[in-house]
């Protein structure tokens, strides 16, 4: 495919970044199952190691199959470049790594995937970094949380475990005014439903494990850079604006312009942290992305149908799906995710914790797993699993209270999903 700026999403999700294999003409992107690449000669090798020429050295840094996926996701997100890595959690560490130093902090939303709350509230402290958690509906509180040591703002577009949509344009205004990047985790929305860069985000991170792969086969992550942030506007980002000692004094921003952050992610991030995506994983994710829009349309359609049914069921106390008119976040759909509020939501079961446990055990089509964004419908009781490490206050703030069940609606027949929920609710709530 020639590069055409006007191709639509459905065309780009199949073609962006890929071309017939130059060696064999293979139409599908081959899995380049190789660790290393032969240099043409010693000068070629030196040029590659100096970043004077772009090419392949070693698969911890770059691999042709992974490179196709990087270009595909960057294109779908409207970014300048992307770096894939081994998981969504790896992507979050990799995203912060060029921005942070010991003593620096990131301002993050309280409404995040449970694992991200733990990663930010506990684990990053080992690097000397810290996170300040704020309710992102309180814009004054977000502004007040930013101090001289803040190096990024982090939130999710449609937040896991569901029902919450971040007002990305409003948060982007705050990050712009503070001269720091806004990082948006777009896992639950995917670029089909939400394009954070168009709404003002600097960086987008993904767990490609979820909807982008879509078939529950491999873990992966991705960081997309908008290419729009001026890393040299102030002295806050020396890894990008100043000579990099881990790369014999190279100034990434001066040398690579809008690709500075992407090149840093590969040349320093992957090289030294080693959280690399393998080419098999990239292959499965490329296969999944080809049908992203078709799946997301069905996920949204089914989620709307099932959420509406649940909302009208007397055994259910509440349904937090932003796609329902009753949701306080319904009005944000038009700007943030105009094609729908995704396939993920929670509902409160009459009978609390015990009823939730009975419900997940009684469901037959829904699988009880710690995953989301699969073609299959999935269910989890967050308070006893993914959000178990959190305090009750953190659980409530994250939308994972003990009486709540999270479901990830698949692409099956909506009628079958409703029938399954109906029989399980009958067993759970007596």
Task: Give me the phi and psi of 254, to 5 degrees please.
Answer: -60, -40
User: Rule CB under 6 A: is residue 89 a binding residue for ligand PLP?
Assistant: yes
Which residues make Cβ contacts (< 8 Å) with residue 163, sequence separation at least 6?
A: 320, 321, 322, 327, 329, 345, 346, 399
Stretch that binds ligand PLP, among 172-180, 207-215, 304-312, 360-368 (CB under 6 A): 207-215
CA distance 370 to 169: 31
Rank residues 219 and 262 by Cβ distance to ligand PLP and give the closer one.
Answer: 219
For 349, counting Cβ atoms within 10 Å of its Cβ (0-12 exposed, 13-18 middle, 19+ buried), the class is buried
Question: Least distance (Å) from ligand PLP to the CB of residue 337?
Answer: 14
Q: Which of 17, 64, 79, 88 binds ligand PLP (CB under 6 A)?
A: 88
User: Rule CB under 6 A: is residue 166 a binding residue for ligand PLP?
Assistant: no
Report the 10 Å Cβ neighbour count for 202: 27
Stretch that binds ligand PLP, among 10-18, 181-189, 191-199, 227-235 (CB under 6 A): 181-189
Stretch that binds ligand PLP, among 38-46, 111-119, 295-303, 329-337 (CB under 6 A): 111-119
Stretch that binds ligand PLP, among 36-44, 180-188, 228-236, 347-355 (CB under 6 A): 180-188
Number of residues engaging ligand PLP in binding (CB under 6 A): 17
Stretch that binds ligand PLP, among 202-210, 255-263, 293-301, 415-423 (CB under 6 A): 202-210
Q: Which of 29, 65, 188, 327 binds ligand PLP (CB under 6 A)?
A: 188
Q: Which of 157, 190, 207, 213 binds ligand PLP (CB under 6 A)?
A: 207
DSSP bridge partners of 349:
316
User: Rule CB under 6 A: is residue 29 a binding residue for ligand PLP?
Assistant: no
User: Rule CB under 6 A: is residue 213 a binding residue for ligand PLP?
Assistant: no
Comparing every residue's Cβ against ligand PLP, the nearest one is 88
Q: Which of 105, 116, 377, 401 binds ligand PLP (CB under 6 A)?
A: 116
User: Rule CB under 6 A: is residue 187 a binding residue for ligand PLP?
Assistant: yes
Q: Which of 64, 81, 98, 115 binds ligand PLP (CB under 6 A)?
A: 115
User: Rule CB under 6 A: is residue 163 a binding residue for ligand PLP?
Assistant: no
User: Rule CB under 6 A: is residue 87 a binding residue for ligand PLP?
Assistant: yes
Question: Least distance (Å) from ligand PLP to the CB of residue 336?
Answer: 15
CA distance 18 to 73: 12
CA distance 36 to 403: 51
Q: Are 184 and 156 in contact (CB under 8 A)?
A: yes
Rank residues 247 and 329 by Cβ distance to ligand PLP and give the closer one.
Answer: 329
Which 235-274 positions form the footprint of ligand PLP (CB under 6 A)? none
User: Which positions touch ligand PLP (CB under 6 A)?
Assistant: 87-89, 113, 115-116, 156, 160, 185, 187-188, 207, 209-210, 219, 221, 372
């Amino acid at each position: 495919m020639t590069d055409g700026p006007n191709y639509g999403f459905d065309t780009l999700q199949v073609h962006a970044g890929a071309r017939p294999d130059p060696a064999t003409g293979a139409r599908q992107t081959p899995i380049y199952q190789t660790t290393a690449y032969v240099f043409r000669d010693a000068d070629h090798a030196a040029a590659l190691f100096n970043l004077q020429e772009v090419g392949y050295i070693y698969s911890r840094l770059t691999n042709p199959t992974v490179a196709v996926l990087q270009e595909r996701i960057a294109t779908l997100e409207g970014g300048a470049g992307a770096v894939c890595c081994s998981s969504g959690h790896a992507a979050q560490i990799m995203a912060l790594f060029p921005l942070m130093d010991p003593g620096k902090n990131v301002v993050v939303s309280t409404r995040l995937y449970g694992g991200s709350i733990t990663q930010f509230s506990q684990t990053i402290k080992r690097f000397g970094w810290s996170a300040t958690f704020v309710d992102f509906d309180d814009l004054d509180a977000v502004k007040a949380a930013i101090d001289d040591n803040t190096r990024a703002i982090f939130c999710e577009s449609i937040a896991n475990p569901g029902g919450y949509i971040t007002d990305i344009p409003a948060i982007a205004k705050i990050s712009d005014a503070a001269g720091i990047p806004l990082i948006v985790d777009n896992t639950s929305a995917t670029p089909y439903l939400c394009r954070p860069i168009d709404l003002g985000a600097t960086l987008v991170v993904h767990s490609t494990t979820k909807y982008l792969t879509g078939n529950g086969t491999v873990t992966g992550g991705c960081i997309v850079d908008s290419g729009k942030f001026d890393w040299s506007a102030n002295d806050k980002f020396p890894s990008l604006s100043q000579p990099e000692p881990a790369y014999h004094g190279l100034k990434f921003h001066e040398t690579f312009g809008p690709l500075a952050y992407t090149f840093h992610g590969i040349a320093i991030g992957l090289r030294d942290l080693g959280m690399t995506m393998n080419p098999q994983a990239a292959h499965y994710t490329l296969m999944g992305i080809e049908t992203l829009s078709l799946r997301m349309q069905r996920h949204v359609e089914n989620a709307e149908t099932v959420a509406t049914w649940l909302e009208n069921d007397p055994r259910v106390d509440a349904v937090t799906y932003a796609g329902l008119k009753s949701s306080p976040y319904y009005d944000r759909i038009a700007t943030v995710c105009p094609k729908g509020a995704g396939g993920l939501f929670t509902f409160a079961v009459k009978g609390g914790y015990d009823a939730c446990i009975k419900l997940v055990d009684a469901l037959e089509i829904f699988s009880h797993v710690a995953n989301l964004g699969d073609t299959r419908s999935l269910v989890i009781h967050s308070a006893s699993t993914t959000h178990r490490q959190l305090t009750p206050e953190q659980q409530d703030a994250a939308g994972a209270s003990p009486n709540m069940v999270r479901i990830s609606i698949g692409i099956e027949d909506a009628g079958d999903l409703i029938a399954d929920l109906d029989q399980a609710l009958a067993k759970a709530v007596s």
